[in-house]
Amino acid sequence: MSREFNLEKLVRENIKSLTPYSSARLEESLKGALYLDANENPYNSGYNRYPQPINYKLKELAANLYGQKLLPANIFAGNGSDEAIDLIIRIFCTPGVDNIISISPTYGLYRVAASINGVEYRDTPLGEGYTLCSSTVLQLCDSQSRVIFLCSPNNPTGNLLERGEVLKIVEKFNGIVVVDEAYIEFAKEESLVEELFNFPNLIILRTLSKAKGMAAIRMGFAIASTEIVEYMERIKYPYNLNSTTQELAIKSLSDKDNSTVAKIVAERERLTSSLEKLEEVVTVFPSDTNFLLVEFKSAKKTAQMLKECGIIVRDRSDTPGCREMLRISVGKSSENSQLLSALRGEEVVVHSMGLNFSRITKESAVNLTLYRGAAELSEIETGIGFLNHMFTLLAHHWGVGIDLFVKGDLDVDEHHTIEDSAIVLGEAIEKLYRGAKNYRRYAFVLPMDESRAEVVIDLGGRFAFGWEVNFSTTYVGDFPTQMFKHFFYSLALSGHFALHMSAKGENDHHIAESLFKAFGRALRDAMAGSGKDYEIPSSKGLI
């Protein structure tokens, strides 16, 4: 940048003179130490130790992901982007003296964080089509303006702010400019992160909540000069990220699969096209995010109607610049179809309250949601094509929607993905039959072409397993046939029920299909009892 930028003049005096909280574990090179420094309980519960105060591996992975020239020292890892926003204000803004500049409409937390910190907040409306005008933003600035927040792509408008106008602000403003890129992965343009090396007053915010689908762990990053990051590290709380968040964030950052982003973008375009055809819709604004801002003839009436159908969207009609508008997140294909059906006035049964189950190990992450009586809601992605097919058949014949997403170490082999999927499903089945108390013990025989499978289930709470199935090949599709037995064994073991299976036939593909179909039918019948069918007595002590 052409003008001279002096970071030290912007930082509050009390922050510069602050002696930060000290941890004896801040050294990156500390390995295999005997920890007697933090007054922890020494007995291993898995959670008895404080988390790493600064996770260097996490910062390294984030640097590698977000920019070719970035160093771990350019990365601040925080509790969501929200922590970074708060820290930036505390570093640079003196309460009751300084002010913050932003645009309208935009992400509401900037205003809230300013208010919490006692800092004046000023904003200026975006132009027609939600365009950014650099001169309008800069006109709001005075000698006490310290930080400008720009969300791009912007929330709730959904559009990227014009790159040239953003850079004009960064170049001309003698303060800190924060560009919040929470949704950049869904946009066609590249991040502004490379501009950090041209503008030392620029901070980029990124998050794992959106494109990476890790909102529950609250993991965000501020990317900035090493000097700014040092100040952020100085004033953060000592252990701001718990161990589970750090572990899952590392797993997420290591995963190079971005296929869900492409699916969301495709659904965004489908949803846009379909919404534009509806009579109640006035305008669907172009989006570079995973949501749509939609103008309706009556936003509140539409939002209430959707709520009565069990569909929740964000009513932004009271936000300046968003009159009669709703913000609609792009869901999965089945969810978007339900939304469109409701808007067309069609009868919709929303199964939004599914039963959620998960299992996280070093080898895999399994997330399962079951929807009773809604097999049509099944969406399955395990990374193993034939296993996807088997779960789809199971869902159909069981009559239960299976929403299953698995990230496993398939680069090693299929074992853990298959095993952990079975374990989670077994736990879910146990939860269903123990919670409902309307199950019965049942067998089901299913013929399929030249194959025949028999499945016997006893939901009595005791594990047993019988297997009389032989396969003539080593693989069916991309599924190793030796893992069929292990799948059902692990399933019954984790579900605490007895399961006996036998099958024969000439075609291994058909044998596998008949097993999953028969298992689904047996589950359907076993859980379809009434009264006290589940109390079928044992003969022990009677004979």
In the chain, what are the domain boundaries? Answer: 7-253, 259-343, 356-526
Structure confidence at residue 442 as a pLDDT band (50, 70, 90): confident
Question: Per-residue pLDDT tens for 231-270?
Answer: 999 999 999 999 989 998 998 999 888 889 999 999 999 9
Across residues 31-50, what is the average pLDDT? 85
Structure confidence at residue 411 as a pLDDT band (50, 70, 90): confident
Question: Per-residue pLDDT tens for 509-525?
Answer: 999 999 999 999 999 98
Across residues 407-421, what is the average pLDDT? 92
Across residues 7-12, what is the average pLDDT? 95
Per-residue model confidence (pLDDT) at position 138: 98
User: Is the pLDDT higher at 127 or at 536?
Assistant: 127
Structure confidence at residue 537 as a pLDDT band (50, 70, 90): very low
Strand order in the sheet with 464-469: 442-448, 451-458, 498-504, 464-469
Per-residue model confidence (pLDDT) at position 32: 64
Q: Which of 360, 346, 413, 357 is nearest to 384 (CA)?
A: 413
Structure confidence at residue 377 as a pLDDT band (50, 70, 90): confident
Least confident stretch, 45-54, 270-279, 398-407, 494-503 = 45-54
User: Is the pLDDT higher at 73 or at 359?
Assistant: 73
Architecture of domain 7-253: 3-Layer(aba) Sandwich (3.40)
90 pLDDT higher than 70: yes
The residue count for the chain: 543
Question: Per-residue pLDDT tens for 127-144?
Answer: 999 999 999 999 999 999
Pick the CATH number of 356-526 from 3.40.50.150, 2.40.50.140, 3.90.650.10, 3.30.230.40: 3.30.230.40
Would you call 57 helix, strand, or coil by DSSP? helix
536 pLDDT higher than 50: no
Q: Do the domains 356-526 and 259-343 match in fold?
A: no
Average pLDDT value for the chain: 92
CATH of domain 259-343: 3.90.1150.10
Tokens at 118, concatenated: 């006692």
Tokens at 445, concatenated: 């025989």
Per-residue model confidence (pLDDT) at position 414: 94
Which CA distances in Å does 274 have to 9, 279, 313, 339? 53, 11, 17, 11
Structure confidence at residue 29 as a pLDDT band (50, 70, 90): low
- List, in sequence order, every residue forming a beta bridge with 365; answer none if it has no partner: 360, 407
Per-residue model confidence (pLDDT) at position 408: 87
